[in-house]
A and B are shown apart, each in its own frame.
Chain A
Amino acid sequence: MAEFDRDTGAATWPHELYDLLRRAGVTQFAYVPDAGHKVLIDRSLADPDAHSIPLTTEEEGVALLAGADLGGARGVLLMQSSGVGNCINMLSLIAGARFPFLTFVSMRGEHGEGNPWQFPMGQAVAKVLEAMGVICLRAERADEVIPTASAALTMAFQSGQAVAVLLTQKLIGAKSF
């Protein structure tokens, strides 16, 4: 499939990613809204067979996915890099109980960022996730997203690991200010 829609110029990977997650049995999509996740959020809202779960803060999503696993369901947490910091202690639930965990983090505070407020957390994302036992995979280019997500799905739901896919600012594009 082409990386960009021929008519609109929009990236096609977000739609492919949603389809991939659904084929992998993901039924719970938890998120704090972010422009980088717009397609996944909209797709989940329109999907009669999935739960679209807006959160008030990101750590709610960590606990939600643990509960989903207790019930035998699969979910993903969609958040921006700033939200990673809100999850830290709640990730002790994932590490301690060995819950599978999969999150997609849209990155800010890196490649070309124009808002200085985004740097402290953006630059700390991989360090704090790894400190809490979450394996980080990075997608830098559109053609890397689906292979990286496929790898992460296997690692999380077959091997029971906690995995974050960092959708980098190079991939998503820096917001202009």
Chain B
Amino acid sequence: MARLNRIQMSALPVPVLDRRQAVPALIERPQDYLVVAGLAGTAQELTAMTADAASVFGLGGAMGAAPMMGLGLALARPDRRVLVVTGDGELLMGLGALAAIAVQNPPNLKIVCVDNGHYGETGNQDSHTGLGVALDMIARGAGIPVVCRIDTAADIPEGRRLLAEPGLAFILLRVTEGPPAKIKRNLQPHVARDRFRAALAG
């Protein structure tokens, strides 16, 4: 039987938080941001948390796009706060984006990675973070100036404080396996684009 190397060096604590409580506890007012939400759990929960607001662009494909979309949006709209909410699987697909974002250092961009250590949409296989890869250390090494890891409910207030402050920040929210909050959402991406732009144009 093939065995995958469980990485010992990071020695992360076992996740205990349920994303259905932890994500809304961390992101109290998602409607205050322009949001890009990644494939797929985070797109579902941000859509649910905002009652399908036009200010949330949620991916249903193009896995890996969310962080760089957030960068393009943050550079385009320095007057607005931009929030990327993505999963461990999507972030792992394009780790270089963290380096590209750090080099720009937009003060109005926050990245929250909801890390459940699994590929929840495809049969719950272990992701690399589930085997011990530490995305907070990668973000720090990439040069993101403020990096925070949330393992327990006691860590959430610090995450909330960092979200409220100006400056580029990366927050790793470690959660247990289990489904995200869900809502029926329109998967037509051109509809999401048009209504996002229309809402922003006011």
- Are B76 and A70 touching (Cβ within 8 A)? yes
Residue A54 at the chain B interface, CB threshold 8 Å: yes
Decide: B75 and A56 in contact? CB cutoff 8 A. Answer: no
Interchain nearest-CB distance for A88 vs B (Å)? 11
Residues of A within 8 A of B96 (CB): 55-57, 60
Does residue A66 face the partner (Cβ distance < 8 Å to B)? Answer: yes
Cβ–Cβ < 8 Å partners of B100 in chain A: 53-56, 60
Contact A51 B193 (CB under 8 A): no
Q: How many CB-defined contacts (below 8 Å) exist between A and B?
A: 119
Contact A70 B69 (CB under 8 A): yes
| Inter-chain contact B69/A72, CB cutoff 8 Å | no
CB distance from B104 to the nearest CB of A (A): 6
Interchain CB contact (< 8 A) of A93 among B65, B76, B188, B200: B65
The complex places the Cα of A42 from the Cα of B80 at a distance, in Å, of: 29
Which stretch, A15-23, A96-104, A112-120, A144-152, touches the partner chain B?
A: A96-104
A68 touches B97 (CB 8 A): no
In the docked arrangement, what's the CA distance between A72 and B72, Å? 10
Q: Is the CB of A99 within 8 A of B193?
A: yes
- Using known A-B contacts A57-B96, A63-B62, determine if residue A69 contacts B193 with beta carbons closer than 8 Å: yes
With both beta carbons as reference points, the residue of chain B lying nearest to A73 in the complex is identified as: B76
Contacting residues of chain A (67-97) with chain B, CB-CB under 8 angstroms = 67-73, 75, 89-90, 92-93, 96-97
The reply to whether B72 and A97 contact each other, CB–CB distance below 8 Å, is no
B76 touching A97 by the CB < 8 A rule? Answer: no
Enumerate chain B residues within 8 angstroms of A56, measured Cβ to Cβ.
Answer: 96-97, 99-100
Given the contacts A54-B103, A98-B190, A63 and B69 also touching, CB distance less than 8 Å: yes
Interface status of B40 (Cβ within 8 A of chain A): no
Judging by beta carbons under 8 Å apart, are B103 and A68 in contact? no
Q: How long is the Cα–Cα vector from A82 to B93 in the complex, in angstroms?
A: 19
Q: Which of A51, A64, A97 contacts B189 (CB 8 A)?
A: A97
Interface extent on B, as a size class? 35 or more
What is the CA–CA distance of A28 and B189 in the complex, to the nearest angstrom?
23
A86–B36 CA distance with the chains assembled, in angstroms: 22
The CA of A98 and the CA of B57, in the complex, are separated in Å by 14
Closest B-chain residue to A53, C-beta based? B104
B75 in contact with A28 (CB, 8 Å) = yes
Question: Do B103 and A28 touch across chains, with their CB atoms under 8 A apart?
Answer: no
In-complex Cβ contact of B62 among A64, A92, A98 (8 A): A92
Residue B179 is within 8 A (CB to CB) of chain A in the complex = no
Chain B nearest Cβ from A48, distance in angstroms: 14
Given known contacts A53-B100, A60-B96, A90-B62, A67 and B76 CB-to-CB distance under 8 angstroms: yes
Which residue of chain B has its CB nearest to the CB of A65? B72
Contact of A72 with B61 in the complex, beta carbons under 8 Å: no
Q: Which residues of B contact A98 (CB under 8 A)?
A: 189-190, 193
Among B61, B62, B67, B192, find the residue whose CB has the most chain A CB atoms closer than 10 A: B62
Question: Does B197 make an interface contact (CB < 8 A)?
Answer: yes
Q: Given contacts A57-B96, A97-B189, A97-B193, are A72 and B76 in contact (CB under 8 A)? A: yes
Let me know if B57 and A96 touch, CB within 8 A. no
Q: Which residues of A contact B (CB under 8 A)?
A: 27-28, 51, 53-57, 59-73, 75, 89-90, 92-93, 96-99
